[in-house]
């Protein structure tokens, strides 16, 4: 991580450089923007507003994380530089821990922006063959049950809903180990949780989950109908799958995984392996390959 320190108070600049170097940053010190002689790029620029032509430094390094080192707050030292692209400011004298916290905060924020853009691009590509179901999202009440044979359809529905209203949510896949414990930790009255693969649970766990979420902000996906329907908002996407799949065909692996997840708690392994046309050993190997846990 490369850091440029633009500061004419030499003792302060050296103190900052020493502290940052101790934790792995590479630092360079200049007294003012006028001393900059090359076209290096920096991850972080610590810029004193007491130095000459500091506003030119903001313009040049606005793609970097810029933390302004200010002596007083004014339009010239804070408001205008922030509008031009500076990231943050800290007023002298300051504690090094506070400066480090600001740097770390903006590093994490930029990583999250990159990750978010990556995920959005991935989902856009992943769902490109699906057609959005026409639904009045304003009518949704929690908890919501989504029944869909293909999880992609439920996922697509949820992501459209969240994007339309700029909402955030947590996700739990019930086919993973320790997922039940995760649900009870994540769910609160102010946090939307999307839960998939409800059909893999045994009946006692299903009842436990349904009782727990009955007054919570939860969207629950299942590929099979609920045996004991509760007074939840319910959307059946199965009738719309012919419209949103656009000739999507499951691969053999996807089909086998779907069958195991859906029916392993309904049929014993002997029957399930026969229906799939494989041995019990092969069924065990498939679970290991797909990282499917069998609940006892």
Tell me how far apart the alpha carbons of residues 132 and 126 are, in angstroms, rounded to a whole number. Answer: 13
pLDDT for the residue numbered 259:
83
* Partner residues linked to 295 by β-bridges: none
pLDDT in tens, the chain (296 residues): 999 999 999 999 999 999 999 999 999 999 999 999 888 899 999 999 999 999 999 999 999 999 999 999 999 999 999 999 999 999 999 999 999 999 999 999 999 999 999 998 988 888 887 776 778 888 889 999 999 888 888 999 999 899 889 998 999 998 887 788 888 888 765 679 999 999 888 888 988 999 999 889 999 999 888 876 678 888 888 655 444 444 456 678 778 887 887 778 778 888 888 888 899 888 888 888 877 777 65
Tell me how far apart the alpha carbons of residues 212 and 209 are, in angstroms, rounded to a whole number. Answer: 5
Tell me how far apart the alpha carbons of residues 177 and 100 are, in angstroms, rounded to a whole number. Answer: 37
Tell me how far apart the alpha carbons of residues 294 and 63 are, in angstroms, rounded to a whole number. Answer: 49
Q: Residue 271, exposed/middle/buried by CB under 10 A (0-12, 13-18, 19+)?
A: exposed
pLDDT for the residue numbered 277:
87
Q: Determine the 3-state secondary structure of 211 from DSSP.
A: helix
Tell me how far apart the alpha carbons of residues 220 and 237 are, in angstroms, rounded to a whole number. Answer: 13
pLDDT for the residue numbered 246:
47
Tell me how far apart the alpha carbons of residues 251 and 283 are, in angstroms, rounded to a whole number. Answer: 17
Tell me how far apart the alpha carbons of residues 256 and 247 are, in angstroms, rounded to a whole number. Answer: 19
Q: Determine the 3-state secondary structure of 65 from DSSP.
A: strand
Evaluated on CA atoms 249, 251, 256, 262, the torsion sign reads negative
Tell me how far apart the alpha carbons of residues 30 and 169 are, in angstroms, rounded to a whole number. Answer: 45
Which two structure tokens, joined as six digits, stand for 127? 């769902």
Tell me how far apart the alpha carbons of residues 279 and 144 are, in angstroms, rounded to a whole number. Answer: 38
Please give the order of strands across the beta sheet that includes 144-147. 169-173, 192-196, 218-222, 144-147, 233-236
Which two structure tokens, joined as six digits, stand for 250? 């499951």
């Amino acid at each position: 991580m490369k850091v440029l320190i633009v500061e004419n108070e030499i003792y302060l600049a050296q103190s900052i450089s020493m502290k940052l170097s101790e934790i792995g940053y590479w630092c360079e010190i200049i007294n003012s923007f006028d001393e900059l002689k090359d076209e290096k790029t920096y991850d972080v620029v610590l810029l004193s507003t007491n130095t000459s032509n500091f506003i030119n430094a903001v313009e040049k390094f606005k793609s970097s994380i810029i933390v302004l080192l200010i002596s007083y707050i004014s339009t010239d030292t804070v408001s205008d530089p922030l509008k031009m692209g500076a990231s943050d400011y800290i007023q002298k004298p300051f504690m090094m821990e506070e400066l480090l916290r600001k740097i770390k905060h903006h590093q994490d924020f930029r990583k999250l922006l990159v990750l978010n853009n990556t995920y959005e691009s991935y989902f856009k590509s992943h769902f490109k063959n699906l057609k959005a179901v026409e639904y009045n999202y304003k009518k949704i009440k929690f908890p919501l049950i989504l029944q869909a044979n293909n999880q992609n359809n439920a996922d697509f529905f949820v992501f459209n809903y969240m994007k339309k209203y700029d909402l955030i949510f947590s996700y739990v896949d019930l086919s993973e180990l320790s997922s039940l414990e995760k649900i009870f930790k994540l769910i609160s009255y102010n946090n939307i949780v999307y839960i998939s693969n409800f059909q893999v649970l045994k009946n006692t766990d299903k009842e436990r989950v349904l009782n727990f979420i009955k007054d919570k902000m939860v969207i629950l996906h299942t590929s099979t109908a609920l045996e004991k329907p509760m007074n939840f908002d319910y959307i059946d996407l199965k009738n719309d799958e012919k419209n949103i799949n656009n000739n999507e065909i499951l691969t053999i692996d996807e089909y086998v995984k779907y069958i195991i997840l859906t029916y392993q708690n309904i049929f014993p392994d002997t029957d399930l392996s026969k229906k799939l046309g494989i041995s019990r050993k092969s069924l065990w190997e498939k679970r290991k390959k797909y990282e499917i846990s069998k609940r006892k």
